[in-house]
């Protein structure tokens, strides 16, 4: 595990250095990902079942964080994991677009995104993904703890703690940047071939028609109480 963690860190670092050449607007958004580390985060009774197999086994009791300082270490781990996933996804997306255009990048995304999410989850000892009120990939459905925040379209970060286990959970908004329009914009902004590629992969897609600056969705991260990150 340690060997593979290091190798993943090298990959993530390579992707991160690439992102330095991209605009902050692009960095505010992560392009293609399947936001699921392994299983579904969607049911409150199954929230321990995904990439971090040692997660929750008892009924969750989520409440807002009342002492922000008390979760500083978990928040830092969430931020690190989100940054790693973001860098890796964005690096691979940009490389795929460069190599073959947007329509073929959709295929790359569909295959690499779930793997990246799993790698980051394993490496960082968290559960992580992305979700939306207008999903492209139905597997990216909303974790149970995030449902209220998604319903009210939370435009600011949300932090919750599970009284039952001490797991920290956070949701952070993702806004649409100009480079996203080619795959998430209105019909006249979609790149060549994207409509057909989406119809093939995601017949129930609801993730086009966004404008720059729109709330596209959220990153979510769950960080267990124990500091078990294998770095």
State which residue, 132 or 165, has the beta carbon closest to ligand HEC.
132
Burial 198-225 (b: 16+ CB within 10 A, else e): beeebeebebbebeeeebbbbbbbbbbe
Among 75, 82, 127, 130, binds ligand HEC (CB under 6 A): 130
Instruction: Find the radius of gyration of the CA atoms of the chain.
Output: 17
Sheet holding 168-175, edge to edge: 62-64, 158-162, 168-175, 215-223, 127-131
Count of residues touching ligand HEC (by CB under 6 A): 31
Identified binder of ligand HEC from the candidate list 51, 56, 85, 113, rule CB under 6 A: 113
The least distance separating ligand HEC from the CB of residue 34, rounded to whole angstroms, comes to: 3
Each residue 31-70 as x (binds ligand HEC by CB under 6 A) or -, in order, gives: xxxxx-----------------------------------
The CA-based angle 178-217-167, given to 5 degrees, is 135
With CB under 6 A as the contact rule, the residue among 81, 142, 149, 177 that binds ligand HEC is 177
179 binds ligand HEC (CB under 6 A): yes
Q: Which is nearer to ligand HEC, 31 or 161 (CB)?
A: 31
In Å, how far are 31, 93, 94, 134, 141 from 102, measured between CA atoms?
11, 9, 9, 20, 24
Extended beta strands in 68-180, E state? 127-131, 158-162, 168-175
> Does the footprint of ligand HEC cover residue 106 (CB under 6 A)?
yes
Question: Considering only residues 19-38, where is the footprint of ligand HEC by CB under 6 A?
Answer: 26, 29, 31-35
84 binding ligand HEC? (CB under 6 A):
no
Burial of 106 from C-beta contacts in 10 A (0-12 / 13-18 / 19+): buried
Which residues would be at the binding site for ligand HEC (CB under 6 A)? Answer: 26, 29, 31-35, 97, 102, 105-106, 109-110, 113, 130, 132, 135-137, 140, 174, 176-177, 179-180, 182-184, 207, 216-217
């Amino acid at each position: 595990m340690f060997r593979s963690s290091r190798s993943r860190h090298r990959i993530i670092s390579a992707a991160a250095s690439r992102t330095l050449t991209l605009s902050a607007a692009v960095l505010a958004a992560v392009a293609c990902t399947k936001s699921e580390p392994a299983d579904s985060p969607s049911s409150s009774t199954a929230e321990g079942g995904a990439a971090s197999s040692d997660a929750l086994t008892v009924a969750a009791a989520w409440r807002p964080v009342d002492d922000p300082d008390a979760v500083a270490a978990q928040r830092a781990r969430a931020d690190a994991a989100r940054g790693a996933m973001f860098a890796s996804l964005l690096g691979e997306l940009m490389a795929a677009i460069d190599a073959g255009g947007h329509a073929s990048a959709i295929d790359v995304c569909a295959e690499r995104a779930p793997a990246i999410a799993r790698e980051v989850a394993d490496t960082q000892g968290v559960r992580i993904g992305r979700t939306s009120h207008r999903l492209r990939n139905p597997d990216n459905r909303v974790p149970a703890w995030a449902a209220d925040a998604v319903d009210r379209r939370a435009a600011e970060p949300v932090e919750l703690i599970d009284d039952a286990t001490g797991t920290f959970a956070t949701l952070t908004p993702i806004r649409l940047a100009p480079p996203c329009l080619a795959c998430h914009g209105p019909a006249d902004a979609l790149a060549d071939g994207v409509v057909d590629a989406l119809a093939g992969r995601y017949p129930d897609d609801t993730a086009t028609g966004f404008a720059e600056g729109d709330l596209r969705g959220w990153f979510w991260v769950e960080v267990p109480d124990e500091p078990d990150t294998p770095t």
